[in-house]
Structure 1
């Protein structure tokens, strides 16, 4: 009978779409989810015959490249678990850094915050729970994403007002805001060929891709709207494609934003742009 470590290594070798370390992490997550297995159990014997059938079914889905968060229906973000679905992007570490930045830079109570392209609601919900009595709004074009976001807000007891909005054709009905934040679609379509299949085949294209003809379309539109919606000294926070830091900053300068900063994430990639009215 193999040990858990031997089982983990064996199963991870079958996840051929992933690097070995990532594959082992996914299998470890799977075992912990279904069996309560921890790294401290690494030398224990693993009797596959006693495993529930669901663990094998989920492992087959993993082998197709389906993200484990979609398999479980949840993913972690900023210390909490959020419901996810194929209609929402999976919350990512880079976005946690954006949330952390906003929290650290804005300590005043009662700030009015709008998140555009909210997806799971992970950004506005985290801000609602971590900041000092904010008034928080989240908008998305996808009704299914908004359903998931509302479910997350209810589950986590966060006060966020969600509404549907096509930001390219509509102006949000939320004025006099202190903070506007967005993680919009920012991957040019021609980059699809270099992307991992677990993103390309499973995550929503609507939330990922923009035309190479105008890759800054969402940044331009949201920054223009920000000029109308933000209070004096209000701040705009973007998560960005690492290739477009200077372009987004130049766009914001052109539109009249002050104190524009391009910030790197923990991997030293330019991932955030910030400015104020």
Structure 2
């Protein structure tokens, strides 16, 4: 009897105002829930895509991937994901290689047109959070980004990655403007990206920043997902370089549903 009375009161309220309020007598929307001690729980299921005939705007909690999903009328998309779980996006920043204070890749008195490969001694030293946040709130492992002299994407097929390389340099004052080219290449497929940084004639020292974009596929990812082994990073200058040091290399992996 009590349940029937509550339902009748609620139904009457809806007919009069077109709005429903819970813990409030003056709702500000079609449904207005007021609470300082609890929250709203939406339907939870392993795979919202199994819902028969979903309506556009429908929300559900994906308990498998720990995300809130919504239906846009055609597809189920991710609205948000839990920061308490290991998502497939994140940032890894290598500061140096080796133990102790670490050693950054560095070269001195490099002749013009001489190609040098960027390598790190293991274990790599990573920047603290938030510069490195992969996996969530923990330290990256070498195998996730660097192994055998090669730089590796996250193991998600089709995921987009951006690589940022920060370089410190010095050159002789009598050398005019010169080009310092960085090359990211996949020895398994022949894929190759070249980006040039120009040192002005007025500069004898400074910083150069390079950005590369890659997409993980079967010829870049190592087994078991692919047949590749990662990317080789090299550099070459058009004129003599006095010193060149890799300040840091950062890999940004963008979320892929």
Same fold (TM over 0.5): no
The structure with the largest alpha-carbon Rg is 2
TM-score (norm 2): 0.25
By relative contact order (CA 8 Å, sep 6+), the higher-ranking structure is 2
Please state which structure has a larger fraction of its residues in strand.
Answer: 2
